[in-house]
């Protein structure tokens, strides 16, 4: 095993991937409940980063969906009690807005790094190294999930983008990725 790569000044090295319990995360918040035009029930976390915790029933006629492995989650409600989410899915704020008109699209924490160069570590972790950084958030920033696209326009010299949210990350060449 090679020595683990350590970032040099002016570099950003992606972290090792860490799993967390989606079910544990889901039931750790209190939710507002909304009925969509589709007939789906939507649950939206009661916090300043609500877009990270949006859940939706699998289908109003399907009481045993496949989300969360088909599990039934007891989702605490702000007004008291709980909603039984049977096989529901982690949704997204854009779909929530389209179905209900509830707008929490600008309530997502993302961390963005833009650079001119990207390589991979030569250790056993194969993490990504971004070099010649042209922009980097100091910490996760509240805003639109897609705020990296505005930053890319603001820094046209950037060739690579790394973006991390609570739901995962993406990294790659700007011209060839959705990042």
d(CA 166, CA 66) in angstroms, rounded, equals 21
**Structural domain contains residue 54:** yes
Q: What is the CA radius of gyration of the chain?
A: 19
pLDDT digits (tens, 9 = 90+) for 2-25: 677 778 888 998 887 666 567 778
Shared domain check, 91 and 31: yes
Structural contact between residues 164 and 130, judged by C-beta atoms closer than 8 angstroms: no
Tell me: pLDDT of 48 over 90. Answer: yes
142 and 79 both lie in a single domain: no
Q: What percent of the chain has pLDDT over 90?
A: 58
Last residue of a domain, one of 43, 67, 100: 100
Residue 53 domain-assigned (yes or no): yes
Separation between Cα atoms, residue 44 and residue 90, nearest integer Å: 10
Cβ-based neighbours of 21, under 8 Å, separated by 6 or more: none
One DSSP character per residue, 47-90 reads STTGGGSEEE-SBTTBSS-SGGGGPEEEEEBTTSSEEEEES-EE
> What integer pLDDT is reported at residue 124 of this predicted model?
75
Residue 40 structural domain: 22-100
pLDDT digits over 66-115, tens only?
A: 777 788 889 999 999 999 998 888 889 999 999 999 999 999 999 999 99
Q: How far apart are CA 117 and CA 131, in angstroms?
A: 5
Q: Any idea what the Cα angle at residue 12 is, between residues 8 and 16, rounded to 5°? A: 110
Q: Does the residue 5 lie in any domain?
A: no
pLDDT reported for residue 54: 95
Task: Give the SS3 label for residue 136.
Answer: strand
Same domain, 57 and 27: yes
Predicted confidence at residue 74, as pLDDT, reads 94
Residue 2 domain-assigned (yes or no): no
Does 3 reside within a domain? Answer: no
For residue range 117-137, list pLDDT tens digits in order.
Answer: 999 887 777 789 999 999 999
> Do residues 66 and 58 make contact, with C-beta atoms less than 8 angstroms apart?
yes
Using alpha carbons only, give the angle 49, 148, 124 rounded to the nearest 5 degrees.
Answer: 95
Q: Are 162 and 113 in contact (CB under 8 A)?
A: yes
Question: What confidence category does residue 176 fall into, taking pLDDT thresholds of 50, 70 and 90?
Answer: low
pTM listed for this prediction: 0.82
């Amino acid at each position: 095993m090679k020595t683990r790569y350590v970032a040099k000044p002016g570099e950003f090295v992606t972290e090792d991937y860490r799993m967390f319990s989606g079910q544990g995360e889901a039931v750790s918040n209190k939710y507002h409940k909304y009925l969509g035009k589709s007939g789906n029930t939507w649950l939206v976390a009661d916090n300043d980063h609500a877009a990270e915790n949006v859940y939706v029933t699998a289908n109003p006629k399907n009481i045993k969906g496949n989300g969360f492995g088909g599990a039934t989650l007891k989702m605490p409600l702000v007004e008291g009690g709980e909603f039984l989410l049977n096989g529901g899915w982690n949704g997204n704020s854009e779909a929530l807005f389209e179905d209900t008109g509830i707008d929490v699209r600008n309530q997502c924490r993302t961390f963005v790094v833009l650079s001119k160069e990207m390589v991979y570590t030569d250790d056993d972790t194969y993490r990504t190294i971004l070099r010649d950084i042209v922009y980097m958030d100091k910490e996760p920033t509240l805003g639109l999930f897609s705020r990296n696209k505005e930053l890319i326009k603001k820094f046209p010299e950037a060739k690579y983008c790394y973006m991390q949210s609570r739901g995962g990350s993406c990294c790659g060449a700007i011209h060839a990725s959705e990042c």
